[in-house]
Amino acid sequence: MSGLFGLPLPLLTDSYKASHFALYPAAQVATAYCEFRHGFDKDAEDERMIFCGLRYIIEQYVARQWTTEDVDMAEAFFRTHNAGFTEYPFPKHLFLKFIAENSGYFPVCIEALSEGSVVYPHTPVFQITAKDEYSSLITYLETVLLMSWYPSTVATLSRRSRTVIENHYRQSVDEDGWWTLETRMHDFGFRGCTCVEQSMIGGAAHLLSFEGTDTLSAAFYAQYRLNNGRPVATSIPATEHSVMTAYSSERQAMLSTIEAYGGGVFACVMDSYDYSRALSEVLPIVASKKLEKGGYLVIRPDSGDQVEAVLMGLRAADKVFGSVVNSKGYKVIRGASVIQGDGVTSASLRRILAAVHDAGFSAQSVGFGMGGGLLQKVNRDTMSMAVKLSSITYANGETRDIMKFPKEGSEKVSLPGRFAVYADPKHGVPVAFRSVEAHPGSENLLRVVYDSGPVDPGVWDDFATVKQRVNDQWSRFPVRAQAVSESLLAYQKQVHAKQEQSVSEGTAFGV
């Protein structure tokens, strides 16, 4: 069996899609495409998004050889899947045909933007083409391909967080301290995930913007599967409440931690009992031992008001270890900092940094961690990723470009036709055009990543290249841009007008 987790490959879709082979009209060619309908949480001020994670889906689920065993198992399942536990229709004949004639590879072509591309609402991020008898399978893979919404959304959230932190770095951090930006947001989300696979692909998406993570599954995957063994992620030794309460006192717990790891960077949670008292009484007692070891202490509150907890930690560290005032006039704690890793959200991140700034501390003296907020509190609607049929050439040779335009849901309008994406000459922003429009000398940014079977592995960039693409495009692209060309928008209006006429005349309903 070729499927993962014991699942036959024909079941990696929605039930209703298995019935569509008998519903689509006979065609020579069918095309569908994918886009994000709006920016992150419909933020109109910054509509930049990061497209990534399709590589994992292609490699793990699409570029696999189906077998007759897959079909037999699917048939056994579908035999009782219809209402009343009766037989459910599925395209067994088509599956067996491409298993015999195409070495078991699903017969579609998929073109996609490069991993790590920064995009805007309505940018076609990938395009599917199916031909001849397989045209009725055009959206069979939609379900699994759409799962790229998850790494794309996590990557966008992480990058938006970096943007907020980076803005405060510009105000309060000297040039020689900017290297710390790479670890200012740490992934603590592994335990909040539904499965190891989610932690791996979501955690790797976070690593496109930061180096800090405790999600080892993602760190390993990014390093050894995506980056040819070159490291991309780091963490530090740290205590937890169970370690702290295992000792007879917090003083003893901290001394033991300093003895073990005090020569390097290490973190210590300090609110197992009384955070304020630990800062005012325990921290001064263990300070000499910490200074003797010469390492760097990260103070971690884990409860209470986030803003107040961070400020309390900074003030206590300043009192015990002292600080230097940098060239921009902000305090940098000597050999210590604070990390807020409990319940951090985009909103609380902004509040904490504003308070730290107002209190006169440099942004490099505070770090952040996200757990469920990073890897769990997102969904497909966060950026509204969707796949829609956009063009069909019927069996008689007639081509019809089509679009969705619901009267009561204009936010779900799709684009008609078959597309190419080109970089605009000003910023390099990806802009959608009809594929029939000529662009001499311009490269179509939609590249073939699967063509009825695996293509050259070189089509996938390594992780370092993808991360560099994110860094470059996010910093260079404007916060808002029109990602659909004027010519395609005009064509969309023409197609809509025809569809509206068809509706008003009743021909769309066969009246």
Binding-site residues for beta-nicotinamide D-ribonucleotide, in ranges, read: 214, 300-302, 341-342, 372, 380
Sign, CA torsion 193/196/202/208: positive
Q: Which two structure tokens, joined as six digits, stand for 97?
A: 């045909």
Enumerate the known binding-site residues for diphosphate.
Answer: 191, 241, 300
How is residue 334 written in tokens? Answer: 């000597």
Residue (of 217, 280, 272) closest to 250 by Cα position: 272
Is-contact 287 258, C-beta < 8 A? no
Structure tokens that stand for 339 in this block: 């990390």
In whole angstroms, give the CA distance from residue 176 to residue 192. 35
Do the bridges between strand 366-370 and strand 323-325 make them parallel or antiparallel, or are there none, so unpaired?
A: unpaired
Residue list, annotated binding site = 191, 214, 241, 300-302, 341-342, 372, 380
Q: Please, what is the angle between helix 463-476 and helix 149-172, to 10°?
A: 60
What letters, b where the CB count within 10 A reaches 16 and e where it falls short, cover 476-486? ebeebbebbbe
Long-range contacts of 455-462 (CB under 8 A, 24+ apart): 460/55, 460/115, 461/114, 461/115, 461/116, 462/226, 462/227, 462/228, 462/230
Pairing of strands 296-300, 117-119: unpaired
| Cβ contact 301:342 at 8 Å | yes
Return phi, psi of residue 119, to 5°.
-130, 175
Number of neighbouring beta carbons within 10 Å of residue 469: 19
Alpha helices in 79-176 (DSSP H): 92-101, 142-145, 149-172
Closest to 466 (Cα-Cα) out of 256, 252, 226, 224 = 226
C-alpha distances out from residue 94 to 148, 298, 392, Å: 26, 59, 19
Give yes or no for a contact between 368 and 349, defined as CB atoms under 8 angstroms apart. Answer: yes
- Reading the block at residue 429, the tokens are 């922003």
Angle between helices 306-321 and 346-358 (to 10 degrees): 40
Strand-pairing partners, residue 368, are: 185, 340
CA angle 469, 470, 476 (to 5 degrees): 90
**Rounded Cα–Cα distance for residues 102 and 422 (Å):** 32
What tokens does 147 get? 């799962």
